Amino acid sequence: MSTPAKITCVEDFRQLAERRVPRMFYDYADSGSWTESTYRANEADFHKIKFRQRVAVDISKRSLRSSMIGIDVAMPVAIAPTGLTGMQHADGEILGAKAAERFGIPFTLSTMSICSIEDIAKHTSQPFWFQLYVMRDRDFMERLIDRAKAANCSALVLTLDLQVLGQRHKDIKNGLSTPPKPTLANLINLATKPRWCMNMLGTKRRSFGNIVGHAKGVSDLSSLSSWTAEQFDPALCWADIEWIKKRWGGKLVLKGIMDAQDARLAVESGADALIVSNHGGRQLDGAPSSISALPGIAQAVGKEIEVWMDGGIRSGQDVIRAVALGAKGTMVGRAFLYSLGAMGEAGVYRCLQMLANEMDVTMGFCGRTDIHDLDRSILLNPDVFD
């Protein structure tokens, strides 16, 4: 039996999650759209970036502590918003939020989460972040924003790149649903996941907690399915961000920026941060990797807005690479989901420990002692994506 101490890297968590999580939910996390070329590039492109090793430098005192939109963080990493997290492990969002709080980094709850905003607020003592989609039902959106304010969320993360849904072949073939439909194939697969099934029997949270019972006309799974298919708004434009910012009144982060021109518009919108993100390769297949898009965007906006990135981070070394290329912060999604599916809250905490250790050691090898001192000079090929 694996224990957190025996896990040495994110890949170990991925392999364990693949064994423990039902196929349709593991595939939901571990897949991209169409040919998955962007999904693969997100991870592969990090390996093109090489470090400069420095020696005989006093690295006895090192610090990863930083801040993201004015919030002190143990390292420049936040847990990204991920849908259906509570299907990777029972009460998954609650467990992830608790692990993040214990470690000292932000947790972001997705609109399409299984546990609700109120669930997270009940089980944590520190403010968390809430991710919002722009939907046609503006009344529902306003109530979601108000619920996030009531739960003392300290930032709103607005996702801009899901006006239409990228075609995800594995989800279609698996007949993805929450909870899984009692088909013969699903029942056979679930029979091989006793740990997951036992945990799921112990919770009542098995559907979209932020939506069912809150959105008009959504009271059961059949109506939820049709509602979500109709709700994502292809008419989303920058004017929508203005009223969302006004309604919210707090820190606003824009997620899904992959172009320098859009980054400039993000600055003009008055947002506090932007996230260079291609939705984990789950939307526009054929788009560049997030890490390759980061330097141009960081250069385009300078210090006018905080620039973060997500997509493909599988180690603390990847975080160091992103910071060196201009990211003030990063977000991890799949690394979080793999560790959660594999070992629940203990897995997530162990994953964060690993990322921090990898960051700390790598920074030391590069002859630096403070995360704020990292820039392109720690890289052998700093212009690799220019």
- Check: CB of residue 253 under 8 Å from CB of residue 234: no
Whether residue 168 is annotated as binding a ligand: the answer is yes
Whether residue 333 is annotated as binding a ligand: the answer is yes
Which ranges in 132-220 belong to alpha helices (H)?
138-150, 169-174, 184-190, 194-201
Q: Where does residue 383 rank: exposed (0-12), middle (13-18), buried (19+ CB within 10 A)?
A: exposed
Q: Which is catalytic among the residues 89, 169, 214, 279?
A: 279
Q: Dig out the tokens for 71 from the structure.
A: 């919030």
Whether residue 26 is annotated as binding a ligand: the answer is no
Whether residue 81 is annotated as binding a ligand: the answer is yes
Whether 279 is catalytic is: yes
| Distance in angstroms (rounded) separating the CA atoms of residues 71 and 205 | 30
Whether residue 15 is annotated as binding a ligand: the answer is no
- CB-based contacts of 353: which residues, under 8 Å, 6+ apart? 103
Torsion (CA) 79, 84, 86, 89 in degrees, nearest 10: -90
Whether residue 362 is annotated as binding a ligand: the answer is no
- Check: CB of residue 152 under 8 Å from CB of residue 122: no
Whether residue 255 is annotated as binding a ligand: the answer is yes
Whether residue 28 is annotated as binding a ligand: the answer is yes
Whether residue 259 is annotated as binding a ligand: the answer is no
CA geometry: angle 62, 314, 362, nearest 5 deg: 25
Whether residue 147 is annotated as binding a ligand: the answer is no
Whether residue 159 is annotated as binding a ligand: the answer is yes
Of 29, 2, 75, give the one whose Cα is nearest residue 281.
Answer: 29
Binding-site residues from annotation for glyoxylate: 28, 133, 168, 279, 282
Binding-site residues from annotation for FMN: 81-83, 110, 131, 159, 255, 277, 310-314, 333-334
Binding-site residues from annotation: 28, 81-83, 110, 131, 133, 159, 168, 255, 277, 279, 282, 310-314, 333-334
Enumerate the active-site residues.
279
